Amino acid sequence: MVTTVGTETTFEKLVQNLLILEHDAIAAYDATIERLDDPGHKQRIAEFKRDHESHVAELTRMAGASGTEAPQEGDVKQYLTTGKVALASIVGDRTILKAMSTNEIETKMAYDQASRNGVATGEARAFFQKAFVDESRHKDWMDATAAA
């Protein structure tokens, strides 16, 4: 799926849309943790969820500093991200992780685009690049674990 998150023309909208994306991601992580069987997989996904919670904290700080309202939840897309996980749970952990990996594609793309977006400050672009690295690490682990 192609995302336009990260390409916004105002910093305020950029931060708001990234926050919505992060809240959607956290909902998907909650659904994943609930459905995984392997305790080691659950622990690793919980670690990744904490990265997303950290991203929310920093994005919320950025929103406050720019006088922007910070969304406190995801949007209807949350049903797509959590729905994939719910369907995949019928088959097992590998399929759940594959479903989550597809969610990470959009998040990686959003942070990659945001890290190059000229409406963002240098500090914000550096944070977006760090978040991109986090998302890449999540996706790489999910892909490798699902393939094992």
- Report the pLDDT value the prediction gives residue 86, as an integer from 0 to 100: 45
Q: Are 32 and 96 in contact (CB under 8 A)?
A: yes
- Report the pLDDT value the prediction gives residue 87, as an integer from 0 to 100: 47
Tell me, which fold does domain 11-147 have in CATH?
Ferritin (1.20.1260)
Type of residue found at 48: F
Phi, psi of 92 (to 5 degrees): 135, 180
Alpha-carbon span 67 to 75, nearest angstrom: 21
36: left (phi over 0), alpha (psi -120 to 50) or beta: beta
At 1-13, the pLDDT tens digits run 578 999 999 999 9
- pTM to 2 decimal places: 0.86
At 85-144, the pLDDT tens digits run 444 444 557 787 888 888 899 999 999 999 999 999 999 999 999 999 999 999 999 999
At 32-47, the pLDDT tens digits run 898 888 999 999 999 9
- Report the pLDDT value the prediction gives residue 143, as an integer from 0 to 100: 95
Q: Domain locations in the chain?
A: 11-147
